[in-house]
Structure 1
Amino acid sequence: MQVLVLNSGSSSLKFQLFTMPEETIVCSGVVERIGFTDARFKFNSELLNVETETKVLTHKAALKLVSKHLLNKKEGVLKSAEDIKIVGHRVVHGGMYFNDTVQITADVKEKIKSLSSLAPLHNPANLEGIMVAETIFPSAKQVAVFDTAFLQSIPEKAYKYAIPNEFLTKHNIRMYGFHGTSHKYVSEQANSFLNKKESKIITIHLGNGCSMTAVKNGKSVDHSMGFSPLEGLIMGTRSGTIDPSVIFHLKDSLGYSMKQINALLNKESGMLGLTGYSDLRDIELKASEGNAECKLALQMNAYRIKKYIGSYATILNGLDAIVFTAGIGENSSLIRKLVCDDLDFLDITLDEAKNNLRSKNLRAINSDASKVKILVVPTNEELEIAKQSVRLFVN
C-alpha cells in the first residue's frame, strides 16, 4: 500500500511516500519558503535526487510540484495518482474534538478551520494541504493525525487553568499541548531501548518550535505548551512563557494593538528577538565568535529547559531517561551540554565524547555513572503518521 504523508507548515511542505506496512521510504523531500520566488525544493528517491530553487507561491503549487516528480514518466515512483491509497496529514490543533486519528470529512475540515485561531501559524496551512491533496489525489483516503491527540491523557489537574470554571466548560479554554506525534514516537522508541514495562521519561522536542512532555508508562502526564503553541520553552521566534501582565502593559502603556502583540510574541520574539537570528546554527556560530547576546540567549534557552526537567522529575517521582529530539535536539551537541551541565543532583551526567559524536541512530550519550539515561532519538513524525493512518483502516 502506498501512503503519502504531508506535513504542511506556514511556509513549507514536507512529504514522505511509504510502502506500508513494510515502512519502506519510497521518496521524501520538502518545499521551503512557499510564497517566495526563490523557494527551495528537495526530492530524494532511488532514481531521482533534486535540489533546486524555484518559484512556489502557494501550497497548491508546492503539492503540484511534488506530484509532478512523483509521477515523472522516466524517474518517478508512481504510475498514476490512483496508486496513492492514503494521504496522511499532520494537523497541529485538534482541540477537544479529536483524541485520535480520523478520516477527513467535511465536518472534520470545518472543525480544523474553527480551531485556526488557536494555532494561526499551522492549522490554516494544514487545512490548505488537505484541500489541495483532495484535488490531486481524489481517490485516496484522506486522514488527519493531530499533534494534540497524544496529549489527551494529561489529567485535568494539569491541563486546567486557575480561571473561572465556565471558561473550560463553555469555551474549552485549557492546556492542549503540541508536537504530540513526535513525543509519542520518540517516547515509544525510548521505552523499547530501556526495555522496561514501567518507565518515567521526559521527551524534549527542540526545533524552531520547542516543547517537553512528561511521559509515564507510555502516557503523557504533563506538557510545556498550553492553549496555543506559544507557552513554554524559548523558541525560534516565539517567546515561550511570559507574565500575562506584559501583554496588558504593551497595550495600555505602550500603545500596541492586540494584532501587533500577537505578531510580537509569535513571530518576533524567542531567539530571534534576543539575537536577531532564529536559526540556532547562526546563533551558535556568533556565540563562538564572542557575540554576548547570542551567548546569553543560549544560556537562557538551556536554563528554561532545565526548569522543566526539574519540574517533571518531581511530577514523575523519579526519572529513567531524558530524550532529545527534532532538529536542534538531534544535532546541537552544545545545547545538549548546556542543558545537562550541573544536573548531578538528578543523577544526570553527560559523556562529552559521546555527545560530540554525530549519528542518525538512536544513541545514549550519558556517562557510565549516570543513573538516568540521556538519549538522542531521531524523530520520525511522518512514519508515525503513516502508521496511524494505516491502522485506522486495518483495524
Structure 2
Amino acid sequence: MNLLVVNAGSSSLKLRLLGEDNTVLADTTVDRWSGEMRPLEDFLRGAPSVDAVGHRVVHGGSEFTSATAINDDVRAEIEALTGLAPLHQPRALAGIDAARQLLHAVPQVACFDTAFHATMPAAAATYAVPASWRRKWDLRRYGFHGLSHAYASRRAAELADRPGARVVSCHLGSGASLAAVANGRSVDTTMGFTPLAGLVMATRSGDVDPGLLVWLQRAGLTLDELEDGLEHHSGLAGLSEAGGDLRDVRQAAENGDAHAILALQVYVHRLRQGIAAMAASLGGIDVLVFTGGVGEHDAALRADTTAGLAFLGIGPNSTAVAVVVVEAREDIEIATQTRTLLKETS
C-alpha cells in the first residue's frame, strides 16, 4: 500500500508518499502555503499511485481519541474544533478538502495530535477550575505533539532495548513539549488546553502565572495584544534580542550577549524542571529521548540539560537511564495509524 501523508502546519505543507515498508517514494515541502490545492496537484502528477491518505490534524478535542476515517460528518466535527487550534485546524481542513477532491476514490484518515494524550489519567488531565466551567466548555489538558511523542517514545524504547520502558519524550522545535510515556501510553504532558502551555518555546511563553495575565489586562492590555504577545513575541524571542531561533540565541550568547545568555539559562531551567516532573508522573525514568529540530541537532543543549539531572540517574557515567536521539518522523506514525485503521475496517 502506497500511503500519502499530508502534514499541514500553520504556514507549511509537507507531503510524503511512503511505500509498504515506509520507504520514501516521493517527498516535498511547501514552506509558505495558504491552503490552495495546486501544490498537492503538482505532487500527485509526478508521484506513484496513492492507495490511502493519512492527514495530521492538531486538535481532536474529546471527540476523537484515535485515528478516524474521514467522511462529511467527521470533517464537520473537525471544523467545529477550529476555535481550539485557530492556526492549524483550517490548514488541516484545506489539506483534507484538496486530497478528497483530487483522490475522491481513495480512503482518507485523520490522525490527531491530541489523541495520544487521551490516555492521561484524570488527575493529570483535569484543571482545578470551577466544575461549571469544565462542564460548559469541556476544559481539560489535551496535550499536543502526540504523533511525534508516540513515534519517538516507541522508537527510543526499541533502540534502548527496554520494552515497556518509562520514557520521557522531549519534542523540541519552535514549539516544544514533553510527554511522560509508560509502556507506550501517555500519562502526562507539559502542554494543556492549548499549545501555549509548558516549556519556553521559540516565540511562545510556556507556563505563566494566570494572575499575571489578569493583572496585565487590568493594566490596559487588550485581549488581542495579550494573545499576540504570548504567541508571537514571548519565549526565546521575548527573553533575548536575537529572535526565537535557538541557533541565533546561542551564537549571541557565545558573543557575550547578556540577554541571550539569560534566555538559554531560562530555557534549560524549564526543560530540566519539566523532565523531572514527567519522571515523577512515571514514578521513575528508564529512557530519555530528544526529538524535533532542536532536540536532534543541538548537542550542547542536550548536554546542558542532562548535566543537571544526575539525581535521576541521567549522565555520562550512569547506565540507569538511556539517553537517545530520535529523528522526528510523524509521517511514520500517521502511516502506521492509517494502515492499522484500514486493516481493522476492511
TM-score, reference length from structure 1: 0.84
Counterpart secondary structure, 1:302: helix
Distance 1:327 1:385 in 2: 19
Task: Give the counterpart of 1:272 among 204, 224, 237.
Answer: 237
Q: Secondary structure at the match of 2:205?
A: coil
- Residue 240 of structure 2 contacts residue 260 of structure 2 at CA under 8 Å; is this kept in 1? yes
Q: What CA distance in whole angstroms lies between the structure 1 residues aligned with 2:181 and 2:341?
A: 24
**Equivalent residue number for residue 387 of structure 1:** 336
Across the aligned residues of Structure 1 and Structure 2, the Cα RMSD in angstroms comes to 1.5
Q: Structure 1 pair 216/242, CA: closer, same or farther in 2 (3 Å)?
A: same
* Contact map agreement 2:11 2:32 (CA 8 A) in 1: yes
Instruction: Report the CA distance between 1:194 and its aligned residue.
Output: 3.0
Greater RCO (Cα-Cα under 8 Å, separation 6 or more)? 2
Aligned counterpart, 2:131 = 165
The residue number in structure 2 matching 1:33 is 32
1:120 and 1:270 map into 2 onto residues whose CA distance is 20
Deviation at 1:69, TM superposition (A): 4.1
- Distance in 2, matches of 1:194 and 1:340, equals 17
In structure 2, distance between residues paired with 1:153 and 1:390: 21
* 1:153 aligned onto 2:116: no
Asked if 1:64 corresponds to 2:43, the answer is no
Give, in whole Å, the separation in 1 of the partners of 2:264 and 2:87. Answer: 25
Structure 2 counterpart of 1:125: 91
Q: Distance in 2 between matches of 1:108 and 1:313?
A: 36
| Structure number having the greater strand percentage | 1
Is 1:12 the counterpart of 2:16? The answer is: no
Q: Given the alignment of the two structures, is residue 201 of structure 1 paired with residue 172 of structure 2, yes or no?
A: no
Matched, 1:342 2:341: no
The Cα offsets for residues 314-368 of structure 1, whole Å up to 9 and x where unpaired, read as 222211111100110000112112211222211211xxxxxxxxxxxxxxxxx25
8 A Cα contact 1:85 1:139, kept in partner: no
Q: For 1:97, which of 46, 63, 85 is the aligned residue?
A: 63
Establish whether residue 290 from structure 1 lines up as the match of residue 290 from structure 2.
no
TM-score by length of 2: 0.95
Contact 2:6-2:56 within 8 A present in 1 as well: yes
Partner of 2:81: 115
The within-5 A match list for 1:225-304 is 225-253=191-219, 255-276=220-241, 277-304=243-270
Between the aligned partners of 1:198 and 1:135, the Cα distance in structure 2 is 42
- Render the CA deviation track for 1:43-99: whole Å, top value 9, x for unaligned: xxxxxxxxxxxxxxx321xx423432441xxxx333xxxx32212110001010011
In structure 1, C-alpha distance between the alignment counterparts of 2:32 and 2:202, rounded to whole Å: 16
Runs of 4+ aligned residues of structure 1 deviating over 6 Å after TM superposition are none
Distance in 1 between the 2:286 and 2:304 partners? 20
Give the 3-state SS of the residue equivalent to 1:84 in structure 2.
coil
Structure 2 distance, partners of 1:32, 1:65, is 11
- Correspondence list, 1:368-383, <5 A: 368-383=317-332
Q: Secondary structure at the match of 1:30?
A: strand
Task: Between 153-162 and 288-297, report the one with greater CA deviation.
Answer: 288-297
Deviations, residues 274-306 of structure 1 (Å, cap 9, x unaligned) = 224122222122222222211111111111011
Cα distance in 1 for residues equivalent to 2:324 and 2:299: 12
Amino acid at match of 1:192: E
Q: Distance in 1 between matches of 2:64 and 2:308?
A: 40
Distance 1:196 1:280 in 2: 32
Q: Which runs of 5+ in 2 are unaligned?
A: none
Structure 1: distance between partners of 2:319 and 2:304: 16
1:348 alignment partner AA: I
